[in-house]
Amino acid sequence: MSGNLSFEALKAEVAGGTIDTVLVCLVDMQGRLMGKRFHATHFVEKAHSETHCCNYLLATDLEMATPDGYAATSWRQGYGDYMMRPDLATLRRVDWLEGTALVLCDVLDHHGHTPVPHDPRTILKTQIERAEAMGFVPMMATELEFFLFAKSYDDIRKSGFRDLEPISGYNEDYHILQTTKEEPVMRPVRNHLVASGIPVENSKGEAETGQQELNIRYADALSCADHHTIAKHAVKEIAWMLGRAASFLPKWHHDKVGSASHVHMSLWHDGKPLFFEQGAQHGMSMPMRQFLAGQIKYAGDCTVFLAPYVNSYKRFVKGSFAPTKTGWSVDNRTAGFRLCGEDTPAVRIECRIGGSDLNPYLAEAALLAAGLRGIEEGLDLGPATKGDLYEAGDDDHIPRTLRHATEALRGSAMLRTAMGDEVIDHYVRCAEWEQEEFDRVVTDWEIARGFERA
Ligand code: ADP
């Protein structure tokens, strides 16, 4: 259960007049909350069992376009309905909005018979069930990095996104003085999230002007993705309420460090961490070594789910703390996978490939699928990489562009087996569309470079 409000408690609050609105949401392909704002009395009487939405919500892009090429829905098929069934275990108060609660939904076909296979929550649940069938409970944490800007979203949009002034003036990595200046935004973020049932551990300044990191305590994989999604939404909404803007774009300027979303992972059984084995090298058990080997072997297959946009690939540059290679390391931040908590029961894998724009359900599902396959194949883990991996050979490079990553996804027998052709074809189309839209547009860079000189 990731929420903090039982249905009975909600009913009491509605009767007492302290909650009047319930946000009934699905999570879309981009990891955003989409849904309706219900009057709470209607929700407790009727809508708690189901509501409906247009099925284009899981076949659109950031701008709500209606791209062709999806088998699941189209103009030709009339863009029908899906059923949204509230998962009451996710019910929680939204502490930063007055009198408001929120519930996440499972997405089913129009008549509520079967889950929609390309729904991100369904995709993750399927991989969790697969792990559980193998005797593993996956525990995860996703870090959220983002930039805070001095002006509001509206002002920035009206200036054509040219007026991008970070909220602070210099690199604020671990910087208490700088982050004190940002407390008008970050303190409400931490406190409202905790009051909304999201176990925030801390926030800190990151390695660039205006850059923040928010850490949430690890949880079962589904709760982790729920927490991430709601926290990201809260950061944007609270920044907006205060006349500021928060951006999760992985690379908003080529001269600035990018924003990541590192994923921490461990497998458990009966409340015990299975990744730890006392006396083994670095305390890594055999399942951990095989899981990590699977993630390295299939990192290319999974990259679209870690870096879903054209912009995501601008983050993978050397000397920026973002990885460019898929190898693993012991506490070395230039590798795609870093061992954390070595020789302790908290020994875990940190995947550093994902950008701040990842959809946590899809990222976690892909990483789980790869790791579980590593265990099934009984893979050997190669030696840890050492030193500056930016300067190492190029064999194990992370796909360099969305185009490369899309082809890796299209050809991934591993992910097709784990998730099904329907799901993979759907997300291949999603990635292709991003690229097509980018290719269609003439960018500022081309104009500035060639207008006079070409
Ligand atoms: P760092 O020093 O890299 O910031 P932290 O100790 O802050 O590392 O932990 C980073 C994240 O890892 C936190 O969100 C924490 O909850 C999570 N974490 C800790 N132990 C585990 C574990 N065994 N499995 C998965 N995630 C974990």
pLDDT band at 163 (very low <50, low <70, confident <90, very high): confident
Put residue 137 in one of left, alpha, beta given phi > 0 → left and psi -120 to 50 → alpha.
beta
Determine the average pLDDT of the residues in 54-75. 96
pLDDT tens readout for residues 179-198: 999 999 999 999 999 999 99
The pair of three-digit structure tokens given for residue 349, joined into one six-digit string: 């894998």
Question: Among 95, 116, 137, where does a domain finish?
Answer: 116
**379, 253: one domain:** yes
Tell which wins on pLDDT, 390 or 334. Answer: 334
Residue 451 belongs to some domain of the structure: no
**112, 147: one domain:** no
**17, 161: one domain:** no
Residue 450 belongs to some domain of the structure: no
Determine the average pLDDT of the residues in 25-36. 98
Report the nearest-CA residue for atom 2 of ligand 1. 340
Mutate to test the pocket of ligand 1, among 140, 215, 292, 333 (most ligand atoms within 8 A of CB): 215
Q: Are 207 and 171 in contact (CB under 8 A)?
A: yes
pLDDT tens readout for residues 276-323: 999 999 999 999 999 999 999 999 999 999 999 999 999 998 877 788
**53, 138: one domain:** no
- Distance of CA 353 to CAs 336, 350, 404, 422, 447, Å? 5, 9, 15, 25, 31
Alpha carbon of 309 to ligand 1 centroid (Å)? 26
Mutate to test the pocket of ligand 1, among 193, 202, 217, 264 (most ligand atoms within 8 A of CB): 264
The percent of residues above 90 in pLDDT, for the chain, comes to: 92
Residue 211 belongs to some domain of the structure: yes
Assess whether pLDDT exceeds 70 at residue 2: no
Determine the average pLDDT of the residues in 323-328. 89
The angle formed by the CA atoms of residues 251, 254 and 257, to the nearest 5 degrees, is 60
Name beta bridge partners: 204. Answer: 213
pLDDT tens readout for residues 193-239: 999 999 999 999 999 999 999 999 999 999 999 999 999 999 999 99
**152, 296: one domain:** yes
Question: Among 87, 116, 145, where does a domain finish?
Answer: 116
**111, 172: one domain:** no
Give the chain's domain count. Answer: 2
Alpha carbon of 355 to ligand 1 centroid (Å)? 17
Assess whether pLDDT exceeds 60 at residue 101: yes
Closest ligand 1 atom to Cα of 143:
14
Closest ligand 1 atom to Cα of 346:
23
Q: Is the pTM of this model over 0.95?
A: yes
Range of the domain at 392: 127-445
Report the nearest-CA residue for atom 27 of ligand 1. 218
**22, 163: one domain:** no
Determine the average pLDDT of the residues in 31-46. 98
pLDDT tens readout for residues 418-427: 999 999 999 9
Locus of tokens 């995501």? 312
pLDDT tens readout for residues 231-281: 999 999 999 999 999 999 999 999 999 999 999 999 999 999 999 999 999
Residue 2 belongs to some domain of the structure: no
Alpha carbon of 144 to ligand 1 centroid (Å)? 12
Assess whether pLDDT exceeds 90 at residue 3: no
- Distance of CA 217 to CAs 232, 335, 342, Å? 15, 23, 18
Q: What gap in Å lies between CA 134 and CA 146, rounded to an integer?
A: 36
Q: What gap in Å lies between CA 335 and CA 331, rounded to an integer?
A: 9
Determine the average pLDDT of the residues in 339-367. 97
Assess whether pLDDT exceeds 80 at residue 391: no
**53, 173: one domain:** no
Residue 121 belongs to some domain of the structure: no
Residue 453 belongs to some domain of the structure: no
**147, 95: one domain:** no
Q: What gap in Å lies between CA 106 and CA 108, rounded to an integer?
A: 6
Handedness of CA 366, 371, 377, 381 (dihedral sign): positive
Alpha carbon of 331 to ligand 1 centroid (Å)? 13
Closest ligand 1 atom to Cα of 218:
16
Report the nearest-CA residue for atom 4 of ligand 1. 215
**H-helix or E-strand spanning residue 368:** helix 360-377
Question: Among 116, 135, 152, where does a domain finish?
Answer: 116
Q: Print the SS3 string covering 76-121.
A: CCCCCEEEEEECHHHCEECCCCCCEEEEEEEEECCCCCCECCCCHH
pLDDT at position 319 is 76
- How many CB atoms are closer than 10 A to CB 114? 9
Residue 350 belongs to some domain of the structure: yes
Closest ligand 1 atom to Cα of 265:
25
**178, 223: one domain:** yes
Structure ipTM:
0.90
Pick the range with the lowest mean pLDDT from 129-138, 270-279, 328-337, 402-411.
328-337
Alpha carbon of 148 to ligand 1 centroid (Å)? 24
**69, 198: one domain:** no
Q: Which residues contact 179 (CB under 8 A, 6 or more apart)?
A: 172, 186, 203, 204, 205, 212
Report the nearest-CA residue for atom 11 of ligand 1. 141
* Antiparallel, parallel or unpaired: β 137-142 and 144-149: unpaired
Closest ligand 1 atom to Cα of 142:
14
- CATH number, domain of 56, equals 3.10.20.70
- What does 226-257 look like in DSSP terms, one character per residue? HHHHHHHHHHHHHHHHTT-EEE--S-S-TTS-
Q: What gap in Å lies between CA 19 and CA 5, rounded to an integer?
A: 11
Q: What gap in Å lies between CA 336 and CA 260, rounded to an integer?
A: 12
Q: What gap in Å lies between CA 17 and CA 265, rounded to an integer?
A: 41
Residues lining ligand 1, Cβ inside 6 A: 139-141, 201, 215-218, 264-266, 273, 340, 346, 348
Closest ligand 1 atom to Cα of 213:
4
Alpha carbon of 103 to ligand 1 centroid (Å)? 26
Report the nearest-CA residue for atom 1 of ligand 1. 340
Residue 322 belongs to some domain of the structure: yes
**80, 172: one domain:** no
- CATH number, domain of 217, equals 3.30.590.10
